[in-house]
A and B are shown apart, each in its own frame.
Chain A
Amino acid sequence: MVAIRCKGVAKRFGSTVVLDGVSLEVPDGAFAVLVGPSGCGKSTLLRLLAGLERTDLGTICFGERDVGELAPRERDIAMVFQSYALYPHLTVRENLAFGLRLRKTPKPAIEARVREVSGMLGLEKLLDRMPRELSGGQRQRVAMGRAIARRAQLFLFDEPLSNLDASLRAAVRVEIRRLHLELRTTSVYVTHDQVEAMTLADVMFVLNKGRIEQSGAPLDIYDRPATRFVAGFLGSPAMNFLEARVATAEGAGGTGLALEVGAGASLPLEPGAFAGEVVKGAKVTVGVRPHDFEPVADPNIPALAARVVLCEALGGETYAHATVGEQPLVVRLGGSERLDPGARLRLRAPRIHLFDPARGRALARPT
């Protein structure tokens, strides 16, 4: 187990800047998740940690040791690849033992370790099979087993669940979390799936265009996104963004302020909806999560007027797709609620985020 410290790490391929001065710290024993859209540089960062690529600039330290110049085999790491990368000519047993044999571990110790790991992952009956005789889920478990068997000081995961179907993915996700709680090995996990990121991470790093947009505990980031990008990336369906202007409004629920959204519609600003300062007349981007909208029945209460385009009923909940002027909006409703296309929907928003429309920085967050 080891802490990781990256400082000013930069990497380019040809003229494409993939990582642009990334600094991060992962505490000893933590499960860190690098999350971001494809092309954000998260996999490259993982490969730099593994030593499969060299940094152009910056330092990477495992504990006190600078590993920048070390080959992968000298870094004492184990990695689970997206394609699993099981050795096709070796049985499951030999796959699990491969790294140990390379490190000249004595035979009885290898056997004991293989037994222990296969017990941990339920691979006992598969030990003499070849990788091609395994299902996707089984291959995935073997890949994990191969990493665990080595007892490396750091585990690296490169989108290990993306080749599994949805139900299996959820099960393996829980399994990975369980194993981490058991082993407590420092882990870095790359994914573009926000559910994986939210559920697995002790500490999460949201990457965008080769930079870290925000880092911290997953729920903190979810509740208090530092930028419009992070706010839009986390959460499903994504946060709604409305371009608006801060204005005074009568009867606007006590603050005397409202957000003019255009087309005559405005969203009253409620006391306690956010923390932070707003300047009257300023242009802002309003962010509201679909579940933070509440339909208003009383016509005397000021509310944002939207027009329903269609409803998606998922059973437990219903998502209404609507528009305010030209701006689209998704609102979560109760599971049994149905609205016809064209129906009017009046909404209040007790929790809102405000962003600088030009630079995307958060101006005000929900309290």
Chain B
Amino acid sequence: MKRRGRAVLESVGAHALILVFVGFALYPVLWVVALAFSGNDTPEARLLPVPVQPTLKHLVEVVGPSPSGSWLFGRQLLNSLVVSGATAAVGIGIAIPTAYALARFEFVGKKTGVRALLATQMFPAVASAVPLYMLLSALGLLNSRTGLVLCYASTAVPFAIFQLRAAFESIPVELEEAAMVDGATRFGAFLRVVLPAARPAIAVTGLFAFMSAYNEFILAATLLGSEDMFTLPVVLQRYVGEHSANWPAFAAGALVVSLPVMALFYVVQRHLVAGLTAGAVKG
């Protein structure tokens, strides 16, 4: 009896502690929610993040059709999703064969190539904003989704290569050899055995590429000129200007912007956990 009481007490204590941490992590998010649904236009400092005069008007203001009648937000959301999705696809598409080659083959220039890739990671993307602007301008790709995807992919690829190379290296060569003995060509073994075995790592790498593109602001703000080309971070930033700040609209926008990423995380979370522990367990 005494022992059971102690176990209950321990459990209550542990859960209380976890609740404190969850509250600590969620408090700012709750404030954003409260702000987004509050009727008063200027935020005030209060302890409890509860909406004042609850309303949906800020949400409608952000998401609803623009005064001209077109649904600008829809187009901007599409911009973000297309640019991020294409960045992930291009990044993964280039990184998979490169990483596989680095993981499995010896060839001239391998070391130098890896070092060069590593070197590109040392510079922040912002440092290249001006040259990128000039390049895209020369190519006629300024203010286009294609231009932005090319820029994002160029930063996503090296990171993806390193991630996937480690993943491919953790897959035993014998799996491919077994497939080749079983009747597969080298490419067939790659397609039927290596790729499926690396799926968790590929999912995680793709997710990271998607998210970094989805959240990126500086390049998007530099390279995109017209409102109908904006991606969501640029849209959000417009609510908080130098002279006036529409915080409730900003909060409502932030919530809407978070939804696709949350949905994506939910879909790939199984892979995410498996991907993060990949290589820990053999076989």
Measured CB to CB, the residues of A under 8 A from B are 50-52, 71-73, 77-79, 81-89, 98-99, 102-103, 131-132, 139, 146, 150, 156
Contact = CB atoms under 8 A, between A and B. Distances in A.
Contact of B182 (A51, A82, A98): A98
B181 interface: yes
A81 B177 contact: yes
B180 interface: yes
23 contacts: A50-B181, A72-B177, A72-B180, A73-B182, A73-B183, A73-B185, A77-B181, A79-B177, A79-B181, A83-B174, A84-B283, A85-B172, A85-B177, A87-B179, A87-B197, A88-B197, A89-B197, A89-B199, A99-B182, A102-B182, A103-B183, A132-B281, A146-B178
A52 B183 contact: no
B196 interface: yes
Contacts of B281: 132
Contacts of A98: 179, 182
A71 B196 contact: no
Given A84-B283, A88-B283, A139-B283, A102 B183 contact: yes
Contacts of A102: 182-184, 188, 192
Interface in B267-283: 281-283
Contacts of B182: 73, 78, 98-99, 102, 146, 150
Nearest to A104: B183
Interface in B150-178: 172, 174-175, 177-178
B203 interface: no
B193 interface: yes
A144 to B, nearest CB: 13
Contacts of A131: 283
Q: Is the interface of B mostly helix, strand, loop or mixed?
A: helix
Contacts of A99: 182-183
Given A83-B282, A87-B193, 13 more contacts: A50-B177, A52-B177, A72-B177, A73-B181, A85-B172, A89-B196, A89-B199, A98-B179, A98-B182, A102-B184, A131-B283, A146-B182, A156-B181
Interface residues of B, number: 21
A23 to B, nearest CB: 24
A74 B193 CA distance: 19
Contact of A52 (B180, B196, B282): B180
A150 B178 CA distance: 12
Contacts of A132: 281, 283
A343 B174 CA distance: 54
Contacts of B181: 50-52, 72-73, 77-79, 156
A71 B193 CA distance: 18
B182 to A, nearest CB: 4
Contacts of B174: 81-83, 85
Contacts, number: 68
Nearest to A50: B181
B185 A71 contact: yes
Contacts of B177: 50, 52, 72, 79, 81, 85
Nearest to B196: A89
A271 to B, nearest CB: 55
Contacts of A73: 180-185
Nearest to A47: B177
A87 B197 CA distance: 8
A86 B177 CA distance: 11
B175 A85 contact: yes
Contacts of B282: 83
A112 B48 CA distance: 67
A78 B197 CA distance: 22
Interface in B124-167: none
B179, B181, B184, B193: residue with the most chain A Cβ atoms closer than 10 Å = B181
Looking at B180, B185, B283, the one whose CB has the most chain A CB atoms below 10 A away is B283
3 nearest A-B pairs in the assembled complex, by CB-CB distance: A99-B182, A102-B183, A85-B178
Contacts of A156: 181
A72 B178 CA distance: 9
A222 B205 CA distance: 57
A99 B283 CA distance: 19
A87 B175 contact: yes
Most chain A CB atoms below 10 A, which of B183, B184, B283: B183
Name the residue among A84, A89, A156 with the largest chain B CB count within 10 angstroms: A89
B183 A79 contact: no
Nearest to B183: A102
A102 B193 CA distance: 12
Contact of B178 (A81, A89, A103, A139): A81
Q: Which of A73, A82, A132, A146 has the most CB of B within 10 A?
A: A73
A131 B193 CA distance: 14
Contacts of B192: 102
A86 B283 contact: yes
B94 to A, nearest CB: 24
A37 B143 CA distance: 67
Interface in B227-260: none
Contacts of A79: 177-178, 181
Nearest to B282: A83
A224 to B, nearest CB: 36
A50 B197 CA distance: 23
Nearest to A134: B283
Interface string B196-224: 11010000000000000000000000000
Contacts of B193: 87
A145 to B, nearest CB: 13
A30 B177 CA distance: 25
A103 B174 CA distance: 20
B73 to A, nearest CB: 40
A89 B283 CA distance: 10
B188 to A, nearest CB: 7
A212 B231 CA distance: 70
Contacts of B197: 87-89
